[in-house]
Amino acid sequence: MSAAHDREDRRRLGWFRAGPAATLVSMTTLRIEHPVTDFTTWHAAFDRFSEMRAHSGVLTHHIWRPVDDDRFVTLDLEFASIEPAQAFLDLLQERIWAVPANSPALAGSPTTRFLEPAS
Convert the chain into a string of H (helix), E (strand) and C (coil). Answer: CCHHHHHHHHHHCCEEEECCEEEECCCEEEEEEEEECCHHHHHHHHHHCHHHHHHCCCCEEEEECCCCCCCEEEEEEEECCHHHHHHHHHHHHHHHCCCHHHCCCECCCCEEEEECCCC
Domain ranges for the chain: 25-115
pTM: 0.77
Domain 25-115 fold is Alpha-Beta Plaits (3.30.70)
* pLDDT tens-place string over residues 8-46: 555 555 554 444 555 556 799 999 999 999 999 999 999
pLDDT tens-digit readout, 37-77: 999 999 999 999 999 999 999 999 999 999 999 999 999 99
